[in-house]
Structure 1
Amino acid sequence: MKQTTLTSKLIMAATGLFLCLFLVIHLLGNLQLLLPESEAREQFNQYSRLLSQNILIKIISYVLYLSLIGHAVYALLITRKNNKANGTKYIYDKRSEVSSWSSRNMGILGTIILIFLIIHFKDYWYIYKFGSLPQDANGNKDLYSIVIRSFQQEWYIILYEICFIALGFHLLHGFFSAARTLGLYHPKYALLVRIFGWVYSILITAGFMLIPLYIYFNLNS
């Protein structure tokens, strides 16, 4: 039982850290949307084409899909095991005094992120792969126009911002949890790990949250 739980946590940590790396690359690609319109359209559509046609990136994308599925599945398995192990109800519940809010609500945060991923894949990945998109001046599928159009809808931006706030809390707890599981949270390096985790989570969250707000207010000013 303990060995199985440890294996699940190791898989969670490994897939989680891979997804953390992917978020950095994805954010750097999306920051192209902040460029002047003509330049942003050309570069973002070319970037999207590279992601869909390069064989190496295709292989990495399959690893990404498996990591997403594995991360979600093992999160559910660990949650179920924890619920069974903690089946006894205590009169006094003082978990809030010894654990962070994000660690106690990872299920809710994970559910919000999962809903966002479904919407995100449907609106961008599915349309790009199977939809009929116009082409830009260079003959690339004009995904830029789809993204810009979605970020001109207030409800979509609100949903996007809420989901990335949830992701920020999820990253913060997940990063520290993965560091402990992989044995990186040594007392000697604990402060460094905490600082890196906070900086990473804030930069990734703020970066993704900035893009739709910039596009909305810039195009509607």
Structure 2
Amino acid sequence: MSWFTKTFSSSIGRKIVMSITGLFLCSFLVVHLIGNLQLFNNDGGQAFNVYSHFMGHNPVIRVMEFVLLAGFVFHIWDAVALTRRNKAARPIAYAVNHPEQNSNWSSRNMGLLGTVILVFLIIHLYNFFLPTKTGGLDKVMIDGVMVDNLYIRVAESFKIWWYVVLYVISMIALAYHLMHGFQSAFQTLGLNHKKYTPAIKGFGYAFSIIVCLGFAAMPLYFFLFK
């Protein structure tokens, strides 16, 4: 197994792991967004609570939670490892350096963007995910089944101005993170061609904006209109 360890502990190997886990997390964002769109139903939260109950009690989804956690851990760990390795390889900055001429803002600030997203993720999990596992939510009866009233927690949280601001800023950070990361993942995996790269880049930009706008619209909707 030494070849396997050496491969995936190298810079190239870590970049491959980051690319695969990053694309996997993108698929999670799509699924999560589609489910959370139930918040816009004008039914007092019934559809969203049914969706949340299904996600929390389906055995396949429960297994995927561990896969998702592993994806986050590997993605963050490799990002930190690559950053430290790059700094160690060049401890003294170039005397003349104009990175803005060779890269965009998001690619030069992936660490900052990732840190903002990580802080938001910790707060978000503490506010929504943890109460579903510890029984800290009110209950509501739907079709004869007692389920967690996660909708009320969402509605109450999105009435807190600082949380709404944090949420929106984090979605902006996520959008910039995805704009660079999406294309970079395909390039790392060898899917880089002058004919297809512009299409991948364009799709990545559209994906980043649409997904993050969808998430950002939720707290703004509750804060302004509910």
* Band of TM-score, shorter chain: over 0.9
CA distance, structure 2, for counterparts of residue 34 and residue 12 of structure 1: 33
Q: Which residue of 2 aligns with 1:106?
A: 110
Matched, 1:6 2:7: no
Q: Which residue of 1 aligns with 2:216?
A: 209
Matched, 1:50 2:54: yes
Q: Which of 193, 196, 205 is the equivalent residue of 2:203?
A: 196
Q: Which residue of 1 aligns with 2:3?
A: none
CA distance, structure 2, for counterparts of residue 42 and residue 49 of structure 1: 11
CA distance, structure 2, for counterparts of residue 137 and residue 56 of structure 1: 24
Q: Which residue of 2 aligns with 1:154?
A: 161
Q: Which residue of 2 aligns with 1:83?
A: 87
Q: Which amino acid aligns with 2:18?
A: M
Q: CA deviation at 1:88?
A: 3.1
Q: Which amino acid aligns with 1:130?
A: T
Q: CA deviation at 1:131?
A: 3.4
Structure 1 residue ranges without an equivalent (≥5): none
CA distance, structure 1, for counterparts of residue 192 and residue 204 of structure 2: 11
Q: Which of 181, 190, 193 is the equivalent residue of 1:183?
A: 190
Percent same amino acid at aligned positions? 41
Secondary structure, aligned partner of 1:43: helix
Q: Which residue of 2 aligns with 1:22?
A: 28
Work out whether residues 185 and 193 of structure 1, in 8 Å CA contact, stay in contact via their aligned partners in 2: no
Work out whether residues 34 and 215 of structure 1, in 8 Å CA contact, stay in contact via their aligned partners in 2: no
Q: CA deviation at 1:89?
A: 2.2
CA distance, structure 2, for counterparts of residue 16 and residue 89 of structure 1: 29
CA distance, structure 1, for counterparts of residue 87 and residue 7 of structure 2: 15
Q: Which amino acid aligns with 1:31?
A: L
Q: Which amino acid aligns with 2:14?
A: S
Q: Which residue of 1 aligns with 2:152?
A: 145
Q: TM-score, normalised by structure 2?
A: 0.93
The one of the two structures with greater contact order (alpha-carbon pairs below 8 A, sep at least 6) is: 1
CA distance, structure 1, for counterparts of residue 177 and residue 207 of structure 2: 12
RMSD over aligned Cα, in angstroms? 1.3
Q: Which residue of 2 aligns with 1:218?
A: 225
Q: Which amino acid aligns with 1:21?
A: S
Structure 2 residue ranges without an equivalent (≥5): 1-5
Q: Which of 62, 69, 80 is the equivalent residue of 1:65?
A: 69
Q: Which residue of 2 aligns with 1:133?
A: 137
Work out whether residues 42 and 136 of structure 1, in 8 Å CA contact, stay in contact via their aligned partners in 2: no
Q: TM-score, normalised by structure 1?
A: 0.95
Work out whether residues 12 and 70 of structure 1, in 8 Å CA contact, stay in contact via their aligned partners in 2: yes
Q: CA deviation at 1:97?
A: 0.8
Q: CA deviation at 1:37?
A: 3.7
Secondary structure, aligned partner of 1:140: strand
